[in-house]
Amino acid sequence: MAAMFVLSAVIAVHSVTSVPGPEPVVTEVKEVAFESLIEGRAEEAIVTLEAQRANEPNDPAVLINLGTAYAKTGQWAKAEAAYKAAMASRVGYQLELSDGRWTDSRSAARRGLRSLGTTSLAMR
């Protein structure tokens, strides 16, 4: 089975400033069911993330981890829909993956979507 990845709860957002020079980076810590997913409690993560999605329907971090949670429970169509929604979101930012690497939210969503192809086939 292909490895799934999980986003941690750290997001880097470039803030808008009128001061000349490089744009400052603001780091925001956000709860996206990271602990639940890492500890193998995908169903719990789904409940948490669906509640967050009701309030933040376009948040890519929520959508990506929701896709991962659905994939971990074998709900391939829902996982695909969540990853595609994250890719299509007008919101985008840098996210820290569970392995400590940083990537933009659209790239993370694409990677999640690609992982479904091999994972769902292996489970059939």
Place of tokens 């971990």: 72
What count of residues does the chain have? Answer: 124
Domains and CATH numbers, the chain: 7-123 (1.25.40.10)
Answer yes or no: is pLDDT of 58 > 70: yes
HSE-CB for 61 with a 13 A CA cutoff:
25
- C-beta of residue 96 within 8 angstroms of C-beta of residue 102: yes
Q: Please state the pTM of the whole predicted model.
A: 0.78
Give residue 53's pLDDT band: very low, low, confident or very high (50, 70, 90).
very high
Helix ranges (H only) for 9-123 are 34-38, 42-55, 60-72, 76-88, 105-123
| CA distances for 112 relative to 17, 55, 58, 104, angstroms | 33, 23, 17, 13
Give residue 99's pLDDT band: very low, low, confident or very high (50, 70, 90).
confident
The predicted pLDDT at position 113 comes to: 93
Q: Can you tell me the mean pLDDT for 38-46?
A: 94
Answer yes or no: is pLDDT of 95 > 90: no
Q: How many CB atoms lie within 10 A of CB 35?
A: 15
| Residue 12 β-bridge partners | 27, 94
pLDDT tens-digit map of 76-94: 999 999 999 999 999 888 8
The tokens of 91 are what?
């919101």
